[in-house]
Amino acid sequence: MIVDGNLARPMASRSDDPQFRPKLLQRPGMIGPLRLKNRIIMGPMGTNYGTTDGFSTERDKQYYAERAKGGVAMIITEAMNISAGARNHNNSLCVYHDRFIPGLNAVVRAIKNNGALAVAQLNHRGQLLRRSVLGMEPVGPTAGSHPATGEPVRALRVDEIRAIQRDFLDAARRLWRAEYDAVELHAANGYLFQQFFSPRFNRRDDSYGGSLENRMRLLLETVELIRNELPDFPLLVRISATEYVKGGYNEEEAIALVQTLERAGVVAIDLSGGTNESPQLSRYCIQPPSFPRRCLEPYARPLKQAVTIPTIIAGRIITPQDAEGVLEANSADFISLGRALIADPHWCVKAFGEAAAPIRRCISCNVCFERLTLERDVACVQNPMVGTEFESLQFLEPQLSRAGPPTTRQRLLVLGAGVAGAEAARMAAALGHTVEVWEVAETAGGQVPIALAAPDKEDVAGVWTYRVDELQRLNVPIRLGMQITADALRRFAPDLVIVATGSRPRPAPMPLDVHVPVLQAWDVLSDADAISPGAKVTMIGGGMVGIETAEVLGGRGCAVTVIEIQSTVAREMARNNRFDVLMRLEQYGVQLLTETVIDGVVDGKLLLVRNGESIRHDPGDAIVVAVGPKPNRDIISVLEEAGLPSVLVGDCNQPGDFLAAIRDASLTVLALTNRLPLRMSELDAVRANSGGRNACPENCMT
């Protein structure tokens, strides 16, 4: 990438070497009678791509087929519902009736036809069922309350336990008929089997509670049922290697469980960790970026050493180096990739050198999981095409399949060298168009340095480094410190200008007549010396930027008070990540005043209204404002003067997150394969010829 002769790279990549080629990962392996072509398995993750009636869709087929094309050896499809009364999500896949078999067989064929083995996971959420999802009733080993919602949990009777076990068996039969290669029982992450196994929840005094043998009984009887009825259908079991909480089962009990499962004929142990019973504990299942890479390894290794059947491990394994390191340490036999394969379905072929493009690394933002929790379909910051028909390499990495320049080669100019601008330029160049990026600042990256300023956000750099590395590979110039005038634009003569000028922080919503500095959160995050350590600071705005700024200041010993009008801070942050930050804010003594309105300023103090009570708040040594961004469209008048067609992408179009910005940019550039917007002069001519009426010729894009 040429930048007036210099390489622009405002932040360095992690030490992960993009040229690294793993050896152990590429070796074939066996799970029972199944031969896996390499050591990468796609872990089971919900998507909400199915119908509300529980049927699989063309979207499911495309999603799984693309990851099979991407080179994984085995795909474990999302947890399926074994009972009409135990639905996971509004759109989760079901297998409690024969009517679901044809659709599931179509998914299986899509996987197998593209070179991967297909395994189905079966689950019952037990006490983690929610009435808010299709009226599901929480049930469990013991009467109590739902750990997150407080809904009453009813204890299962023995006859109901027997019925659930039959439901698992009947579901396994249907999976065999649907031509799956194997089935996995989900006994991890706080769901029904784990609830019976954990002494935290199982307080029964019958044969299903009390002793270790009794607490294992529900799972082992279910395994025995399936093994007896389907002896040639390989059976895997997923467990949490640890609950990460006091009162749960210990390592000795976990070892006893996996050894007993091996004796029962299970062909592999799939190791996860933690429990999804609450956002605080769910962090150990779906880890935020504060968790180390390979975080589950210390808990998984003793279990691997205790059995002779293969073990599979998950836990923030992001790069090929991470995965290879697990195998080198002999901590597991196979690697389970989850979010990493949402971010990049072609992780394997890239890691193995079969596709000459960098891996889009998962940044652990957990947008995917948050959307699922909110009963929305899964999306991804790094992969704007996930769940669409545009997720193939042809669209994600067009340069790999392009035989030559496009039929109509466009000359494009991107204004703004942030993430949206870089994505637009990358896609345009990959499609064969001529493109340059102009940036008025002296550095590229846009808001990425601000996003990286908070603790434990190093992985977020992948949003930028993937794109800037590709721009370098595609020889796209990024010109910094540009003065953008109408004359300069006309001289460049682009067919289209893609405006990606981002946003700027909004000012405080009211005049602040105070005698202390009033700063923007962006400035505080950009300048470590903006506020002295130990200062007393008032933060106006408790969104994600405000909360992360409060964390930075709290870590420097500042006494921080956050004022937020909403009932919850950082609503736009994935809840696992949010609770991770909130725990640290509590350690720092940060005070959060939610549902609080600033009613004015009196004698240099903020007049707050909270719960109907008026409070005078001393702002301390500084006020920091974090009330959101507003679009930066200053360049529009210059474009109008130049008479050039343009399109807005990213924050200058509509402020949002990296997901919105990247999706804006990617799909806007793909639209260039259709028709370009008209130039101003062409539009004026159209209007004149139509007598002032609204009209659109064949080459008009409205």
Angle at 288 between CA 283 and CA 292, to 5 degrees: 100
In this structure, are residues 372 and 43 in contact, taking their beta carbons and an 8 Å threshold?
no
Distance CA 507, CA 521 (A): 11
Residue 469 identity: D
In this structure, are residues 185 and 219 in contact, taking their beta carbons and an 8 Å threshold?
yes
Out of 49, 63, 96, 191, the active site residue is 191
Residue 593 β-bridge partners: 563
Residue 153 β-bridge partners: 144
In this structure, are residues 395 and 418 in contact, taking their beta carbons and an 8 Å threshold?
no
C-alpha 476 chain-centroid distance: 29
Distance CA 512, CA 540 (A): 11
C-alpha 12 chain-centroid distance: 22
Q: Max alpha carbon distance in the chain (Å)?
A: 87
C-alpha 280 chain-centroid distance: 18
Of 491, 293, 292, 466, whose CA–CA distance to 396 is shortest? 466
In this structure, are residues 213 and 257 in contact, taking their beta carbons and an 8 Å threshold?
no
Distance CA 301, CA 285 (A): 17
Q: State the alpha helices, DSSP H only, in 498-541.
A: 521-526
Distance CA 271, CA 239 (A): 5
Residue 152 β-bridge partners: 145
Q: What is the DSSP string of 640-669?
A: HHHT--EEE-GGGTS---HHHHHHHHHHHH
Instruction: Kindly state the helix (H) or strand (E) to which residue 328 belongs, with its residue range.
Output: helix 320-328
Q: What would the two tokens of residue 230 be? A: 């389907």
Distance CA 331, CA 310 (A): 11
Q: What would the two tokens of residue 634 be? A: 């200053």
Tokens 């999706």 map to which residue?
Answer: 663
In this structure, are residues 377 and 89 in contact, taking their beta carbons and an 8 Å threshold?
no
The answer to whether residue 49 is catalytic is no
Residue 182 identity: A
SS3 for 399?
A: helix
Distance CA 178, CA 181 (A): 9
Q: What would the two tokens of residue 28 be? A: 């074939």
Instruction: Kindly state the helix (H) or strand (E) to which residue 147 belongs, with its residue range.
Output: none
Residue 371 identity: R
Distance CA 668, CA 536 (A): 45
Side-by-side strand order, sheet with 536-540: 518-520, 622-625, 536-540, 559-563, 591-593
Instruction: Compute the chain's Rg from CA coordinates.
Output: 28
Pairing state of beta strands 182-187 and 518-520?
Answer: unpaired
Instruction: Kindly state the helix (H) or strand (E) to which residue 310 belongs, with its residue range.
Output: none
Distance CA 75, CA 72 (A): 7
- Residues forming the active site: 191
